Structure 1
Amino acid sequence: MDPWPEDLPRQVEIDAAGDVALTAPQAAALLGVALDAFLADLRAGHVYSVVERGEGEDAGRLRLTLRRRARQRQLLVEAATGRVLDAS
């Protein structure tokens, strides 16, 4: 099941350097937590993210892992456009 919230665009921002950015509302919704709680945990250092760049047949894709406490979400993203291909 794809947990991407229906009310959010299936898009993340990718800057010229290839770095990925989620907005705080996107990240909070993906993790299923209120924005205020997410921001408090972010300030306290309880939110982590990792971006992995695909190689070989996965070239051109990114995997973004977002963690908050015991909850984790992964996004498969098209590197050229920032379009979210899958979420788990």
Structure 2
Amino acid sequence: MTVPDRVEIDAAGDAVLSADQAASLLGVALPAFLADLRAGIVYSVVERGEGADAGTLRLTLRRRGAERRLVVEAATGRVIGAEPGG
């Protein structure tokens, strides 16, 4: 699992990972990741922090049995935390 230092924040304020970043984060080769993405077995969820977590986004990626989470500063896209999923 390779954790990026930063992710893109789009115009809507959502975190955006490239396919390379997502595949690396999940620990899978890019061709396998893309095949699973096309097959509809890669999922992502972006949650906006509230209260003490305001100003952050939590990005969760799921593929087959793997799940990974990133916590990102919403304003800059800087990754401030990473963990295996639960």
Normalising by structure 2, what TM-score? 0.92
> For the residues of structure 2 that align with 1:9 and 1:63, how far apart are their CA atoms?
14
Report the counterpart of residue 16 of structure 2 in structure 1. Answer: 21
Q: Please give the per-residue CA displacement for 1:31-63, whole angstroms capped at 9, x wherever unaligned.
A: 000000000000000100000000001000000
> For the residues of structure 2 that align with 1:67 and 1:55, how far apart are their CA atoms?
23
Q: Percent identity?
A: 73
Report the counterpart of residue 47 of structure 2 in structure 1. Answer: 52
1:57 maps to a residue whose letter is: A
For structure 2, list consecutive stretches of 5 or more residues without a partner in the other structure.
none
**1:69 matches 2:46:** no
Report the counterpart of residue 75 of structure 2 in structure 1. Answer: 80
Aligned to 1:40, the other structure's residue is in SS state helix
**1:11 matches 2:6:** yes
More deviation, 37-46/9-18: 9-18
Normalising by structure 1, what TM-score? 0.90
What number of residue pairs does the alignment pair up? 83
> For the residues of structure 1 that align with 2:59 and 2:80, how far apart are their CA atoms?
11
Structure 1 runs, 4 residues or longer, greater than 4 Å off:
none
For structure 1, list consecutive stretches of 5 or more residues without a partner in the other structure.
none
